[in-house]
């Protein structure tokens, strides 16, 4: 016979339910604003709209703005995917070198990578703007990818290096005894084992570029090159904000991220829990 749940188990489940409700309430509130017919800020605590309407989504994808929105959605996809690819490709070899090799300046370089993560992106906006202007890359998606990569690469290096440290060095030694070169060890032994960490690192690099607004709004002035976060800003005016359209756009921006999470959830769980148990 199954034992009746104890008081501690019941309280734990109740606490989990309350925490889940608190986490989901802001999401439901945004959904309510998107599905409501009004553009006013709804201060009602009820997370369900009193009247259901898809008008905000129709306006978002209407004839006047659909072309720009599709272009801006494509811009966001290109910038985020390119940042993830560049960050991953540039940092994988560096992380392998920091994890497996011992060379002069190794600790100092790691400390330098970590120090770059302590400064906000807005602090680097002016020098980056000057560099992009000199390179004629303002209002360019390539320039934005290069800017995002400057912050993605140090993060990717530290994340991958920590995971590669958990892989046994005996695997490298066994492959080297079999005649494998350093490049073959890296591509055929280390990278296949590091797929969970690669998925986690690529996702965070993708999200950092997908959600970023301040640098994109600073370096992009042409509406044809806007990313989705910059495009949503047009619904926020100095004296009036179209909250319904803004909420609908926020859901559109969030949908690709949710799809990526569902597609990579197994790899994400494996990557985030790697190193937690050894045996």
Could you read off the pLDDT of 240-277 as tens digits, one per residue? 778 888 888 888 888 888 887 777 776 666 655 554 44
The CATH number of whichever domain residue 211 belongs to comes to 1.10.3720.10
Q: What angle separates helix 7-35 from helix 243-263, to the nearest 10 degrees?
A: 130
The whole-number pLDDT of residue 17 equals 92
Does residue 35 belong to any structural domain of this protein? no
Q: Tokens representing 185? A: 């060890």
The whole-number pLDDT of residue 204 equals 85
Does residue 16 belong to any structural domain of this protein? no
Does residue 86 belong to any structural domain of this protein? yes
List of residues 6+ apart from 166 with CB closer than 8 A:
274, 275, 278
The whole-number pLDDT of residue 211 equals 86
The whole-number pLDDT of residue 27 equals 84
Does residue 167 belong to any structural domain of this protein? yes
User: Containing domain of residue 136, as a range?
Assistant: 66-273
Does residue 186 belong to any structural domain of this protein? yes
In the three-class reduction of DSSP (H, G, I as helix; E, B as strand; rest coil), residue 241 is classed as strand
**pLDDT, average across residues 189-205:** 85
How many domains are there within the chain? 1
pLDDT value at 152 more than 60 = yes
Query: What's 121's DSSP letter?
Result: G
Contact 206, 268 (CB under 8 A): no
Does residue 170 belong to any structural domain of this protein? yes
Does residue 44 belong to any structural domain of this protein? no
Contact 263, 246 (CB under 8 A): no
Does residue 116 belong to any structural domain of this protein? yes
């Amino acid at each position: 016979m199954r034992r009746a749940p104890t008081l501690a188990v019941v309280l734990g489940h109740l606490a989990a339910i309350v925490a889940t409700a608190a986490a989901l309430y802001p999401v439901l509130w945004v959904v309510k604003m998107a599905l409501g017919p009004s553009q006013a800020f709804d201060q009602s605590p009820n997370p369900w709209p009193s009247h259901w309407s898809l008008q905000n989504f129709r306006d978002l994808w209407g004839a006047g703005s659909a072309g720009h929105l599709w272009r801006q959605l494509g811009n966001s996809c290109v910038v985020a995917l390119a940042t993830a690819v560049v960050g991953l490709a540039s940092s994988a070899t560096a992380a392998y070198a920091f994890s497996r090799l011992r060379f002069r300046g190794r600790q100092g370089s790691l400390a330098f990578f970590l120090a770059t993560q302590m400064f906000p992106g807005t602090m680097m906006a002016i020098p980056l703007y000057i560099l992009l202007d000199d390179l004629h890359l303002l209002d360019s998606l390539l320039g934005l990818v290069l800017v995002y990569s400057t912050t993605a690469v140090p993060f990717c290096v530290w994340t991958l290096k920590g995971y590669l440290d958990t892989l046994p060095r005996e695997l490298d030694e066994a492959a080297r005894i079999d005649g494998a070169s350093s490049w073959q060890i890296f591509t055929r032994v280390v990278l296949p084992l590091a797929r969970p960490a690669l998925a986690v690192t690529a996702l965070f690099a993708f999200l950092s570029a997908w959600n970023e607004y301040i640098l994109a709004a600073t370096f992009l002035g042409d509406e044809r090159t806007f990313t989705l976060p910059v495009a949503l800003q047009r619904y926020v005016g100095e004296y009036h904000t179209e909250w319904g359209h803004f909420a609908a756009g926020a859901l559109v921006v969030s949908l690709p991220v949710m799809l990526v999470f569902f597609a990579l959830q197994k790899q994400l769980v494996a990557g985030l829990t790697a190193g937690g148990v050894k045996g």
